[in-house]
Amino acid sequence: MKWQCALIGVVLSMAAWAEPETEPPEPSQESLEQQQAFSEEVREQVESLRATLSEVERDVAGWERQWQGTESEFNRQFLQQQILQSSSRLSRQMDQFIRKAVEDRRLAYTDGAVNLLLEETRYLDGRLKSARTAVVDVYSRYEKAFYEEGSTQWVSINDMFTYLNWLLQEKVRNVNYLRELNVAVAETEEQLAEELTTYADYLALALKASSHQIDVLEQEMKQVPEGVLGELQAGLQSHQRMERISLDSLRELVRLMENLDINTSEYNELIFKNTGDLVEVFSSWDAMKAVARGLMQDFETWREVNMGSLLSRMLLFAMAVAVAWLVSRLVQHMVSRAVSHEKSKLSNLVQDFLVGITGRTVLIIGILWALSLVGLDPTPIFAGLGVAGIVIGFALQDTLSNFASGMMILIYRPFDVGDFVEAGGVAGKVGKMSLVNTTIRTFDNQVFVVPNTKIWTDTIKNITAERVRRVDMEFGIAYEDDVPRAEALLAEIVEAHEMTLATPEPTIKLHRLGESSVDFIVRPWVRTEDYWDVYWDITREVKIRFDQEGLTIPYPQRQLHLSDNVDVSALPPPNSADTRPADPGVER
């Protein structure tokens, strides 16, 4: 058995020795040629871009020298645009090559891209240095020609700030590309963050300076005569433009810094103070804390400086409002006496309206006067009321309609306070009225507040508008009673009542021959306030006197006559199924 295993092992080893060894294939000559061609192509692209970079750098340097030597603002702006366009064109060409390198990842591409990025960054550093020097020069020119050429100098400053922001944005983009190409950029990022922070501090100082100048000029414009306002107004507009330019540049730079995780809370606080835009506050938790801290500091500073004067102003304002209130009460009393005089002949509604509106007007004027005493300008209040009035007018159309209806009621006076009316679907006594609604108390002591529009657009029935009213009553006697006797008795009852009027004469007439009675109308005239007393008294007296004199007040009845040829036996007996009670007015 052992020699068989040994024999098998020898055979297998001989087979393995007899099989030829396989070697890895060598790269083909064609593949090497392609790589060399690709590397040569990339090298040519890199050299072309380097040449373009050198050409642009040379041109931009020449334009920068021309910019520093010219005095013409038009030439300066033209040169700035040329510099920006050439740099932008170079950046687009570089960006196209670098994006291909990031996607391709072959060594020839990545090495060329890294070298180009470093050279472009060097170019951007040179441009940043020149631009910072140019900004200082433009600012000095702006200060010298503030009132003469300020309107054109600020354009150059705006262009320079835009150019600086673009250069820094390009540097940030290059750093991001280097990171994607696996190049260590920690030190470069630190330098860039320091550079961005320095420039942001510069913009913040420019913004604060412009804001301070605006505050100073606004205070001066309140104190100087009108002849000097034109010059100060021009300066104010220039500083407002500079404030806007600095603010826009700082806002753009802050967004760039946030992309690099640089703390921008201080700058967001400054932007919020100048714009009031809450977006800057809620951009981060640090920004919210910085804004809150800054507001508290501003409040403490303001309190320390103004608390004494604030208390005195509050006291002065309170005294002025108290005086205005006393004057309004005095004016209300005087107007009330004037409109309530017997010769004025004004309704109670008009009297109440005039007294109320006069007092409120005097009080409002007094409050505005108190505001002016403490140094507050009431003019913006009127402007705000004008804008708010438009909005409120659309929102309160129904209320304004009630107001207009109230004015029409005051003008045409269809009723007065104390009148009994039927209006707006409600009957009762008018309690009070405003320009918006009318309060009516019904006879069962319910209170209804009716909108004036509903009253004015409906039929108004004033029951107590006239001093004299006619009481309409109707009484009936039986056909068997004596008509002249009944007529004389009714006249006697009416004449005997102390509240009926002799003039106009009462009307007592036989009015109608009804189905069951002979009807008389009784219509005496009374004072309006005696209407119901007369109505109830005469009705009661007529019933008593008719009973005493034997006159009958009939009620509706029917008589049923049976002819002789009717078979009475055919009628149902009283105890039959028809047990309905007989009609009390039917005789059988």
CATH number at residue 498: 3.30.70.100
If asked whether residues 199 and 96 sit together in one domain, one would say: no
346 or 474, greater pLDDT: 474
Q: Which of 142, 164, 183 is the last residue of a domain?
A: 183
Whether residue 252 is contained in a domain is answered as: yes
- Are both 72 and 163 inside the same structural domain? yes
Tens of pLDDT, residue by residue over 218-232, are 787 777 776 667 777
pLDDT value, residue 385: 63
Domain boundary among 183, 216, 248: 183
Q: Residue 286 has what pLDDT? A: 56
> Residue 142's CB: how many other CB atoms inside 10 A?
18
Average the pLDDT over each of 32-41, 197-206, 399-408 and give the range with the smallest value. Answer: 32-41
How far, CA to CA in Å, does 29 sit from each of 18, 234, 479? 32, 78, 146
In the predicted model, is pLDDT for residue 41 greater than 90?
no
Amino acid at 461: K
Q: Is 522 exposed, middle or buried (0-12, 13-18, 19+ CB in 10 A)?
A: buried
For residues 560-580, give the mean pLDDT. 58
Write out pLDDT tens, residues 571-587.
566 554 444 444 444 44
- The string of pLDDT tens digits covering residues 359-414 is 888 888 888 888 887 777 667 666 666 666 666 666 566 777 877 888 888 888 88
Q: What is the pLDDT of residue 4?
A: 39
Same domain, 513 and 454: no
Of residues 138 and 416, more confidence is placed in: 416
Q: What is the mean pLDDT of the segment spanning 7-24? A: 38
* Beta-bridge partners for 501: 525
Q: Please check the confidence at residue 171 and state whether its pLDDT lies above 80.
A: yes
**451 in a domain, yes or no?**
yes
Output the average pLDDT for the chain: 77
236 and 149 within one domain = no
Task: Among 16-30, 256-270, 521-535, 543-557, name the most confident range.
Answer: 521-535
CA 524, 526, 527 angle in degrees (round to 5)? 170
Residue 242 in domain: yes
Do 456 and 479 fall into the same domain? no
Partner residues linked to 449 by β-bridges: 439
Is a pLDDT exceeding 70 seen at residue 279? no
In the chain, pLDDT over 70 holds for what percent of residues? 75
176 and 190 housed in the same domain? no
Whether residue 28 is predicted with pLDDT greater than 50 in this model: the reply is no
Q: Do residues 458 and 491 both lie within one domain? A: no
* pLDDT, position 481: 92
CA–CA separation, 487 vs 492, rounded Å? 9
Whether residues 142 and 244 fall in one domain: no
Mean pLDDT of 548-562: 78
The pLDDT score that the predictor gives to residue 293 is 62
- Residue 148 has a pLDDT of 53
pLDDT band at 507 (very low <50, low <70, confident <90, very high): very high
Q: How far apart are the first and last CA of the chain?
A: 151
Residue 201 lies in a domain: yes
Q: What is the pLDDT of residue 77?
A: 74
> Domain for residue 488, yes or no?
yes
**Is 564 contained in some domain?**
no
Check residues 567 and 364 and name the one with the higher pLDDT.
364
Is the model more confident about 465 or about 587? 465
Higher-confidence residue of 395 and 540: namely 540
10 Å CB burial of residue 490 (0-12, 13-18, 19+) is: buried
pLDDT score recorded for residue 466: 86
Cα(203)–Cα(249) distance, integer angstroms: 7
**What does the pLDDT average to over 541-569?**
78
pLDDT at 29 (0 to 100) = 46
The domain boundary, picked from 429, 447, 462, lies at: 462
Closest CA to 54 of 86, 80, 77: 86
pLDDT value at position 493?
A: 94
Residue 309 has pLDDT above 70, yes or no: no
Kindly state whether residues 202 and 145 are assigned to the same domain. no
pLDDT digits (tens, 9 = 90+) for 468-501: 999 999 999 999 999 999 999 999 999 999 999 9
pLDDT(12) > 50:
no
129-138 long-range contacts, CB within 8 A, separation 24+: 130/64, 131/160, 131/163, 131/164, 131/167, 132/164, 134/64, 134/67, 134/68, 134/160, 135/160, 135/161, 135/164, 137/68
Q: Are residues 550 and 510 in the same domain?
A: yes
CATH number for 435: 2.30.30.60
Mean pLDDT in residue range 67-87: 76
**Contact of 154 with 246, CB cutoff 8 Å:** no
One domain, residues 101 and 230: no
Assigned domain for 439 exists: yes
Here the tokens at position 170 are 């390009």
Report the share of the chain in percent with pLDDT over 90.
16
- Report the run of H or E that residue 475 belongs to, with start and end: strand 473-477
Peptide bond connecting 484 to the previous residue in cis, omega within 30 degrees of 0: no
pLDDT at site 17: 32
Q: How many domains does the chain have?
A: 4
**pTM score, two decimals?**
0.44
With 50 as the cut, is the pLDDT of residue 343 above it?
A: yes
Q: How confident is the model at residue 2 (pLDDT cuts 50, 70, 90)?
A: very low
What one-character DSSP code corresponds to residue 59?
H
91 and 212 part of one domain:
no
pLDDT of residue 566: 57
Residue 480 lies in a domain: yes
pLDDT tops 70 at residue 7: no
For the record, the structure tokens of 267 come out as 């700058």
Domain of residue 169, residue span: 35-183
- pLDDT band for position 295 (cuts 50, 70, 90): low
